[in-house]
Structures are given as structure tokens and as C-alpha cells.
Structure 1
Amino acid sequence: MAIRVQFENSNEVGVFSRLTNSYALIAMGGSENFSSVFESELSQHIPLVYTTIGGTKVIGRVCVGNRKGLLVSSICTDQELLHLRNALPENVKIKRIEERLSALGNCITANDYVGLVHTDIDRETEEIIQDVLDIEVFRTSIAGNLLVGTYSYFTNNGGLLHAMTSSQEIEELSELLQIPLITGTVNRGSDLIGAGLVANDWSAFCGMDTTAIELSIIEKVFKLNSIEDANIEDNFKYKSSIIQTMIYGVISAYPRCATSQPSRTRVRRGGEHVYEKLF
């Protein structure tokens, strides 16, 4: 599900956090309410790492990652880098990048299989992204904006793009990423999607100003209700089988009182009921 939250009265959730399928980074020194929301939803599934990068809280804008790796900006100190290495799962690669476009979270967006990057990013950086995150990388823009990490966000299930993205561009990007994409906004009409939310394959967090319609679009495109819906469907099937069994038992006990028969019941002349196997 998608949850509304604020970081010290800011709705830019994606500025102060980074979420993947194997870990979550949360800016150190934030409000207790912000961290408690993340902990209640994620702590049983993935580790939550509280940190700063370059001594700042805007960690979501100076790093990018997926379940396989994490890339941090050159402003990350040795102490912070060591803390991240010790706190992240052992199978997660981590590397500090010397890139002139140091706001990695604004210039790069990725899931576990593919990534989009700023067209002017260094060739060496592109190779590092491919190696550490173990993904394919494509240079592109979103609705004419080069900051792909600011104006889009996608997971393995789907993605949200800048509201002015053309239908042709949506189709091309969807084919490139092999996931469904739609346009939308967060925080009551903001196009800064990457700054306004974070998500993985089963949860999402967005600013408190996000409207109910925006929230429903986020939940739909990221397929955050798919597991819950499957459970509801399975539960319905289970209850249906119980009801059929109860009907079968009642008709078997009181055949003359039954006003209707199950769909698999056959009636012979003379009032004799012959019941076919229900399961």
C-alpha cells in the first residue's frame, strides 16, 4: 500500500530516503514519526539504515540503488561509506562515484533490471552503474527534462512519469523498460515525482499533500494491492467451497425440504436424489 508521511514538515519524501527491495536508507536526525512509519511497514522485511551523506540529510538526491547495489556521490565521507558497508546486506555492492553531476538521485533512476540516466553523465559513470547495480543503462530524458530521477520513478512492477510526457514517449519507454508506465503527479499536482515518493515492489511512501486520486494511481501503477487482492480472491474461493459443502450436507439430510439443488446435482423421477461429487 501507499502511505502518506512527512519529513520535518517537508513532503519531499524522496529527498530524505531511498527505498529498494533489499534495504532502505533514511536520513539521520529526522522526526520520530517519519522513521516509525517506515519501520512499521518495512522492518520485518528489509534492514533500515539511518545515515547522512556528505553530512547532509538529502540522501535520496545524492545516491541511487537497487536490491543489488548502492551508488553514492563523491561527497560521501569515508566514515559514512564505512557505516553503509557495515549496515547493508553483505550481497549489496556499494561504491562512491567521482561524477561531476553529483546529485545522482536526480540524474539516475533504476529498478533491479534497467536504468535511465542523464544524457550528459560520464561514460565511466555509466559503466560503474551497469557493474554495481547489474542493470542495462539508457541515456534519455523525460518530457524534455534531463533529470530523469526527478521527473520519474519506477519499480519492477511499473512506473510514474512527468504529467507532460507524450503518449509516444510513454510507449517507447514502456517498451524499453518492459513495465507499464503512466503519467501522474504527487503532493497535490507536483511534477517532482522522484522527490515526492519512494517505492519498492510492495510498498510506497509519499508526501502528506498527495491527494486520494494521486494515491490510487500510485497504488495501481506500482501494483501495491496485487498480493492483497490475490489473498481476497483465494479467501473467496475458500469460503465458496465451504458454502457448497454446507449446501450439500443440508440437501443430503433433508432432500424433501430442499428448494434448490447445487449446480452439480441430478434429480431422478420419484423424488430420488443422486448427488455427483462436488470436488
Structure 2
Amino acid sequence: MLSLAETLSMKGTTSIRNLPQTSDKRCNECSRYLLIINNQEQCGYCSLIKKEDEQIGIEAREALERKERMKALRIFNKESIINDRLKQATFENYEPNNESQEKAKAIVKRYVENFSTDNPVPLMLRGDYGLGKSHLAAAAVKELAEKNITSIFISVPKLLTKIKSTWDKQSETTEEEILSALEAVDCLVLDDLGAEQTKRDPNGNIPWSVTKLFEIIDARIGKHTIFTTNLDNQELQEHLGPRNYSRAMEGVHPIKLTGEDYRLRKFKEA
């Protein structure tokens, strides 16, 4: 039996007499009336149009999501969110000084090489000051950008300051736009987690910074997020609170860096 597409493409089928007749029955899937082709009932929509419509829908959704991600980058590109030193960071100019740093570099490079939005893997780069955690995270963002993967790198204290700035009536950006941007990007780097002020008020209430930070992290569950922190597990748990810490660390792959602060090394050598 010829399909509907084959029947309509046959020479001589353009006359009214040869056009398919409409059945009084409806398609079980789309409820449209069936067409009678070679004495067989077929659904014209499901046979010819449905797949094309579905593909158009997929492409439209992808275009919209891409638009939202690009909007996110524009919001954060209005001002510098990464210092000049880190703008020069690459995997090539990161010089590990021990096995833990060498391993961290290899893991983050592999993370970028195998990056897939279908398989999100959050990372936590943890260690003392001056070991290159931020350097590796910034290098990852740079290489992801070269692959047309939308990414945002921002320190947590600067992020919270940026959110507070939206409270000014003269602000061109709203808090909702910032939060939506952070949620939309393919990869978010939250640098220096734990450096923000989280001191409770005299009544013991959780500070605004912790509540807002948890809101941001919670929205990134199931997405690519890279954290860097100088705090160990216990310190970070105390900083965020047990519940927030448990939720924030869901599925996170920890990477421990050890060694000597490279910023102070030259003073010891002098």
C-alpha cells in the first residue's frame, strides 16, 4: 500500500478527482479526520506534518533557551565580574606544584572536554588560599566560551553586592533578572564560597546572604556549577547551616588542593 506522501507525490494526483477523500472517522492520536487513500484510512497530519511540527517546536524552544542564556551573559557583562589577573588564566599557564594540583588540573580539563548539558556534574574546588582554585575555574569558563557554551564566573561576595545594587530605584537590572540569568546559563562558577558575611543577628536569625545564596544554589541543582572555597567540610557546613549544606552539596564532585600559597612564595624566596 502506498503511503499518503507517496500518493500525493504521484503524477496526476493534483486534480480534484484524485485528491484523497475524507473519512467520517477521526485519528486516535490527534483527533483529526482521516483521509482515504487507496481504500485505506490514514491520518494526513500524523503521516506528513506531525514530525515537522515537533522539530519546529524543538528548534523554537532551543532558540528561546539560547536567547535567555545570552541575555544572562549581557546582564553580567555590563560590568567586570572577574579581576584582571584571572582574565589571563588558562590551563596552559597554570603550573601545579604537587600531585594534588596536577590532579585538579587534569580533572577540570577533562570536565571541559566532556562537558554536556545532558550530563551535569557539579564540582567543588577546595583548599587553602593561593593554590589556583579560581585560576582553574576561570580557565574552564574561558574554554567553555570558546565552545559556545554560556558560562558566568563571579565571586560570591561580588554577586551578593550586585544583587543588592538592584534595590536602588535607578538600577537598570532587577534582582529577578539576575537570579534568572544565574539559573539559565550552561555553567555557573561561584568563586570563593564562604567569603561572604553570614553572621546571625542578635536574635539568631539566618542572614539574608545565606538565604539568597541557598536560593541561587538550589536553582542550580541538576546543572553544571563549579564552586571554589577555602573552607573545609565542617566549616562550610557551619557557614551554610546543615540543611543548606546538604542540599547544596547534592551530587557535587569534591576536588582537594593542597600546597603552599603561590602568592607568598616569592617572599620566602627573597
TM bucket (normalised to shorter chain) is: under 0.3
TM-score by length of 1: 0.26
Report which of the two structures shows the higher radius of gyration computed on alpha carbons.
2
- Answer 1 or 2: higher relative contact order, Cα 8 Å, separation at least 6: 2
Structure 2 length as normaliser, TM-score? Answer: 0.26
More strand by share: 1
